[in-house]
Amino acid sequence: MVSDLGGGKTTFVKGLAKGMGSRDHVRSPSFTLANEYKGSKLNLFHLDLYRLSVTGVVGQELAEFMAEPDSVVVVEWPGLVENLLPVEHLSINIKVVDENSREFSFNYPDNLKNLFPINT
């Protein structure tokens, strides 16, 4: 997921976690690098790589998260690990329109169209 600082990435993850049935307190993983939230059926792993300049151990951790069969992985600032992500993945770009508005764009392969009830 890509956006400017303060663009709404963590707010988006809060809504995603809630939609997954999580009652966990969602917070930015800026200083912890990764947070895990338990949903009713799936776990949500939330990574923020903004402060990193090398992949290091986070690459191994990301691979472990993605190997979990019942998980959703959200990566903020994914540029550093782009080569570690599956070829077929959902990319979300959030553009700040004004203080209270955001514009979302989603890029995904055809086989992930089922994630969206209405494809635009």
Residue 90 lies in a domain: yes
- CATH number for the domain harbouring residue 45: 3.40.50.300
Domain of 77 in residue numbering reads as: 2-115
Does 8 map to a domain? yes
How far is Cα 18 from Cα 54, in angstroms, rounded to an integer? 31
Is residue 120 situated within a structural domain?
Answer: no
Domain for residue 81, yes or no?
yes
Q: How far is CA 93 from CA 21, 23, 28, in A?
A: 24, 26, 17
The predicted-structure confidence for 52-84, as pLDDT tens digits, reads as follows 655 666 788 888 999 998 999 999 888 878 888
Structure tokens at 99: 């203080």
- 76-112 pLDDT per residue, tens: 888 878 888 888 888 999 999 998 999 999 988 888 8
Torsion angle, alpha carbons of 115, 95, 37, 54, to 10? 110
- Residue 118: which pLDDT band, with cuts at 50, 70 and 90? low
Dihedral over alpha carbons 59, 53, 93, 112 (to 10 degrees): -20
Whether 63 is covered by a domain: the verdict is: yes
Identify the weakest region by mean pLDDT among 9-13, 15-19, 84-88, 116-120.
116-120
Whether residue 6 lies inside any domain: the answer is yes
Q: Number of structural domains, the chain?
A: 1
Rounded to the nearest angstrom, the gap between the alpha carbon of residue 6 and the centroid of all alpha carbons in its chain is 15
> Which residue, chain included where needed, has tokens 């209270």?
100
